[in-house]
């Protein structure tokens, strides 16, 4: 994973962060952005904003369905008593592990559903 593959979020509009508690005091975060081909890149990062994996989607609807199916929920400051990560995104030292894009800890929707959304 290179610095080119880090989120380039528009700081003039709020980002839609997603969060998943994976253990005691350990949360994985996700954020997505629109990419040049018209699709979306979903980035996974930790509380220090160290990006450790990413997935590409053609459909934001399917992406959000898969986030929820994998235990992520949309982060809302008022509803979730966890502080949003601050600072700049950077590549994680464990970026080579690819825990979600490898499929080891990521459940994709069945092919018939993915096809419905053009994946």
User: Is the entire prediction scored with pTM above 0.85?
Assistant: yes
- For the stretch 52-68, pLDDT in tens is 999 999 999 999 999 99
- For the stretch 33-45, pLDDT in tens is 988 888 999 999 9
In SS3 terms, 51-85 reads as: EEEEEEECCHHHHHHHHHHCCCEECCCCCCCCCCC
Name the residue ranges covered by the structural domains of the chain: 14-116
Strands 18-23 and 26-34: antiparallel
Residue 80: exposure state from Cβ atoms within 10 A (0-12, 13-18, ≥19):
middle
């Amino acid at each position: 994973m290179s610095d080119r593959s880090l989120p380039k979020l528009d700081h003039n509009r709020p980002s839609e962060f997603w969060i998943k508690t994976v253990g005691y005091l350990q949360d994985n975060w996700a954020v997505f952005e629109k990419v040049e081909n018209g699709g979306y890149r979903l980035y996974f990062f930790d509380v220090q904003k160290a990006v450790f994996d990413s997935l590409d989607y053609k459909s934001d609807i399917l992406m959000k369905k898969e986030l929820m199916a994998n235990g992520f929920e949309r982060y809302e400051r008022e509803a979730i008593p966890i502080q949003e990560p601050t600072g700049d995104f950077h590549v994680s030292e464990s970026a080579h592990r690819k825990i979600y894009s490898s499929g080891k800890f990521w459940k994709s929707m069945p092919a018939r559903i993915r096809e419905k959304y053009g994946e």
